Chain A
């Protein structure tokens, strides 16, 4: 038996290259993009709609890409709110990847938007491994998921720029302390930003936009 060593290609390197291409394309059109991740039902779509309202009040043009395993419910909500939107169905893949987003960006009317929200598939494990080429990553946690979400997915949060702890108006009803979630996040990511939000009432939305650099 003998060994051959050498480079046979990093399979994730290709994803990084595609993500850089997406980033370059977005910049070429002057678009700032946010990769919105979080569990199913955490309130990603509602929060995007609320942020879009505020950004449009400031005169910015907003669009959205909805990533889901199947269906177009989120896409329909974006369209109903008047946002240019596009649906990506991943066909059982548990995350968006830079390749799929690249194709979506080719079709998307990038010249008509200043801000693009890319809503990832509801999942707290896989999206962390696949950069898309966005300017900033946001993870949405709802208090109804329990106060142990960060401890259950530490690697995801260690790599996330901004966390929105959503549905804080329900915290008392489900016996969850949002501060505990925030404290866990600060431990794994001392440089990240945490914002408490209640998307339905609009609470924290302005602060979240500022954390995302808007």
Chain B
């Protein structure tokens, strides 16, 4: 529901980066990692990007989203890796459970809450 404000934050950050590190060409694709725990609609994020970039140097660039699965760390048994998922019928989406898949203890989230630009695809100007 807050796709526009986050798309704006991504855009401002990228514009600032491009001011400091100019590139010879047009940005065709902007690669973004999106943590699975975030309640963000991919469709709305892409639409927000399309509208917000109009009239900027990033106009026409495509936002490419990669969903980052939840990873957890267990302070009691030392497990580090993917979370367990609840996939029963009736939930419709696989829900990550923040509990250790090995010892069932409480865990810390190490990945899955991120929203970051991690790469650009550049079209060289001829």
Chains A and B belong together in one complex: yes
**Which residues on A are within 8 Å of B, measured CB to CB?**
1-14, 93-95, 123, 125-126, 128-129, 151, 154-156, 158-159, 187-191
Q: A94-B1, A94-B2, A190-B99 are in contact. Are A4 and B120 (CB under 8 A)?
A: yes
Contacts of B75 in A (CB 8 A): none
Residue contact B39 to A11, C-beta cutoff 8 Å: no
- B9's contact among A6, A11, A154, by CB below 8 Å, is which? A11
Contact of B39 among A1, A93, A128 (CB under 8 A): A128
Indicate the member of A13, A95, A156, A188 with the most B CB atoms within 10 Å.
A188
A154 touching B95, Cβ below 8 Å: yes
Least Cβ–Cβ distance between A155 and chain B, in angstroms: 6
B37 near A155 with CB under 8 A, answer yes
> Contact at A1–B123, with CB atoms within 8 Å?
yes
Interface 0/1 of B77-102, CB less than 8 Å to A: 00000000010101101011111000
B13 touches A11 (CB 8 A): yes
Whether B116 sits at the interface, judged by CB under 8 Å, is yes
The total of chain B residues at the interface (CB under 8 A) is 41
Q: Is the CB of B104 within 8 A of A156?
A: no
Cα distance A25–B9 in the bound complex, in angstroms: 25
Residues of chain B within 8 A of A2, CB atoms compared? 121-122, 124
B17 engages A8 (CB within 8 Å): yes
B6: interface (CB < 8 Å)? yes
Q: Does B52 contact A (CB under 8 A)?
A: no
Residues of A near B48 (CB, < 8 A) are none
User: Please, which residue of chain B has its CB at the minimum distance from the CB of A125?
Assistant: B39
Task: Please tell me which one of the listed residues A1, A123, A129 contacts residue B124 in the complex, with CB atoms under 8 A apart.
Answer: A1
B24 to chain A, nearest CB (A): 10
B5 on interface, CB distance cutoff 8 Å = yes
Chain A residues, CB < 8 A from B119:
3-6
Given A8-B118, A11-B10: 13 more A-B contacts, CB < 8 Å: A2-B121, A4-B119, A8-B17, A8-B117, A10-B115, A13-B116, A14-B9, A94-B1, A126-B39, A129-B39, A155-B39, A158-B98, A188-B97
Chain B residue nearest to A2 (CB atoms) is B122
Q: Are B23 and A93 in contact (CB under 8 A)?
A: no
* C-alpha spacing A140/B80, complex, angstroms: 32
CA gap between A116 and B100 in the complex, in Å: 31
**Option from B10, B93, B98, B122 in Cβ contact (under 8 Å) with A191:** B98
Cross-chain contact A3 with B120 (CB below 8 angstroms): yes
Is there a chain A Cβ closer than 8 Å to B28's Cβ? yes
| Residue numbers in B under 8 Å from A189 (CB-CB) | 97-99
| Interface 0/1 of B27-49, CB less than 8 Å to A | 01001000101111000000000
- The answer on a CB contact under 8 Å between B28 and A155 is no
Which of A3, A12, A159 touches B115 (beta carbons < 8 Å)? A12
Judged by a CB distance under 8 angstroms, whether B50 is at the interface is no
Q: List 6 A-B contacts (CB under 8 A).
A: A8-B116, A11-B10, A93-B5, A158-B98, A187-B86, A189-B98
**Given A93-B2, A126-B39, is A12 in contact with B97 using a C-beta cutoff of 8 Å?**
no
CA distance A9 to B20 in the complex (A): 14
| Interface pair B98/A156, CB less than 8 Å apart | no
Could you say which residues of chain A place their CB within 8 Å of the CB of B96?
155, 158
